[in-house]
Amino acid sequence: MYYDFSAIVKYFPFFLPAAWMTIQVTVVGILLGVVLGLLTSFSRISENSLFNIPAKIYIYIIRGTPLLLQLLFIYFGLRSVFGFKAFTSATLGLGIHNGAYIAEIFRGAIQSIAVGQMEAARSLGMTYYKAMRRIILPQAFKRAIPPLGNQFIIALKDSSLASAITINELLLKSQQLASSNYRMMEMLTIAAMFYLFYTSIFTWLFNKIETKLAVSGSR
Amino acid sequence: MIKIRELEKWFGNLHVLKGINLDVNPREVVVIIGASGSGKSTLLRCINFLEKFQKGTVEIDGKVIEKNNEKMINEMRIHVGMVFQHFNLFPHMTVLQNVIEGPTQVKGIPKKDAIKMGRYYLEKVGLLEKENSYPSMLSGGQKQRVAIARALAMEPSVILFDEPTSALDPELVGEVLSVIKDLAKEGMTMVVVTHEMGFAREVADRVIYMDDGIIVEEGCPNKIFDEPKMQRTQDFLSQIW
């Protein structure tokens, strides 16, 4: 067995649909995760137990079980109830999973803003919600950017687990092709190249955002 | 203007305010002195309900503030400005944005008018040329003067100062105190918690000495500083002079 570089060139085009699928699953999953994460972090810091207890339970369950299990659970379990397709199950699973982590990222960022900021805003007569929106959240978002970028990269790589529920993304594609051409190492290399390409874009994008935010008002 | 009656406050088991009665009249400057832990900052923070208390009442401009009435508390805070020890400027906003945030967002003043007002008050604290700077670019003394302008821009009927110079380098204390002195001359009603005794003597109409959660003695500065009646006041003053 030798490593055949020509196989990489030859099979590269076959990966394009799978690469597109990986992007779709990741982006939809992340968007869902951000929305869920925001809502959950607000519920989590609320003093009303009607909000904070469900948020705690959600985070407890999701962080305490593997993503692969969650995907299988949604795919086999909820599919029969709601009739989800594989793509819906994958994005929902990834979204719910990332929502729990993103909620904790936002919560940490919000709580890292000094109490004095809230006090100063309230002493001007602002309501709690206005103080949150105008004073706390703009500062918290800035602090959430680095860990958020990290989480997005994790989400991208975690999308490979969707291969277990028949999503034809990069990893599943590499294994399918390898089972017919016996070029496992080369196929995995192609998948790895795509992942590296995507993570590079994420990293570059987040560095850009960080520098931009650092310029406009610092601390 | 401010009427505090039988105010009591606990932090858990710690009884920090033990029945405070205090009146602040319009155009009066009341300075509260006392050792750390005497409850003076807590008392100040109870006036605008940043701190909740268990017993007693606070009446502002003739209205007894209900402690569970958020709307009433927010309305009251429009008329009661506050300046903090650690400035608490909004770091993501420029100096001018800091100053107009309250007027535009809380009082609903149109931005154009708020900017005019904001510049007027920045001029007053001598920082108009810094209007486009961010707080991180300012010295401590400049930050505190911006914080004072931010409080002034709400055009409050009284301003509370919580140790406004305690976090400043010694050489920056003077510029902040002189701004506060100017306000006193103009007749602004103020309640000031401070460790600056010279300043207290100069600016105060009335000095309150607090210890262990009670008002031990109050009176005009000459009376308190030169001939304190109570032993505790004498001990405190002999320690710090």
CA pair distance B83, B226, nearest whole angstrom: 29
Q: Check whether A219 has a pLDDT greater than 80.
A: no
Q: What is the pLDDT of residues A27-84, one digit of tens each?
A: 999 999 999 999 999 999 998 999 999 999 999 999 999 999 999 999 998 877 887 8
Structure tokens at B12: 């858990």
Contact at CB, A217 and B91, closer than 8 angstroms: yes
Closest CA of chain B from A127, distance in Å = 7
Residues of chain B contacting A130 with CB distance shorter than 8 Å:
105-106
CA pair distance B116, B113, nearest whole angstrom: 5
**By CA distance, what is B136's nearest residue in A?**
A219
For tokens 């969707």, what's the residue? A162
Q: Is A108 helix (H, G, I), strand (E, B) or coil?
A: helix
Structure tokens at A26: 């990741």
DSSP H or E stretch at residue B174: helix B170-185
Beta-ladder partners of B206: B30
Contact at CB, A126 and B150, closer than 8 angstroms: no
Cβ proximity of B162 and B184 under 8 Å: no
For tokens 């006392």, what's the residue? B34
DSSP code of B63? E
Residues of chain A contacting B105 with CB distance shorter than 8 Å:
124, 126, 130, 134
Contact at CB, A120 and B78, closer than 8 angstroms: no
- pTM, 2 dp: 0.86
Q: What is the pLDDT of residues A14-35, one digit of tens each?
A: 999 999 999 999 999 999 999 9
Domain ranges of chain A: 5-217
Cβ proximity of B206 and B219 under 8 Å: yes
CATH of domain A5-217: 1.10.3720.10
Closest CA of chain B from A189, distance in Å = 45
Question: In this structure, which amino acid lies at residue A100?
Answer: A
For tokens 């379990």, what's the residue? A77
DSSP H or E stretch at residue B190: strand B190-193
**By CA distance, what is B138's nearest residue in A?**
A219
Contact at CB, B134 and A119, closer than 8 angstroms: no
Residues of chain B contacting A127 with CB distance shorter than 8 Å:
70, 74
**By CA distance, what is B75's nearest residue in A?**
A125
Find the CB nearest B86 among A116, A123, A139.
A116
Exposed (0-12), middle (13-18) or buried (19+): which is B197, by Cβ within 10 Å? middle
For tokens 């990269």, what's the residue? A153
HSE, side-chain direction, 13 A CA sphere, residue A45: 20
DSSP H or E stretch at residue B223: helix B221-226
Q: Is A218 helix (H, G, I), strand (E, B) or coil?
A: coil
A218 reaches B (C-beta below 8 A): yes
Considering chain A, what is the average pLDDT of its residues?
93
Interface of B with A in 1-30 (CB under 8 A): none
A4 reaches B (C-beta below 8 A): no
Find the CB nearest A138 among B74, B81, B92.
B92
Contact at CB, A218 and B48, closer than 8 angstroms: no
Closest CA of chain B from A202, distance in Å = 25
HSE, side-chain direction, 13 A CA sphere, residue B136: 9
Q: What is the pLDDT of residues A202-214, one digit of tens each?
A: 999 999 998 888 7
Percent of chain A with pLDDT over 70: 97
Work out the pLDDT band at B224, boundaries 50, 70, 90. Answer: very high
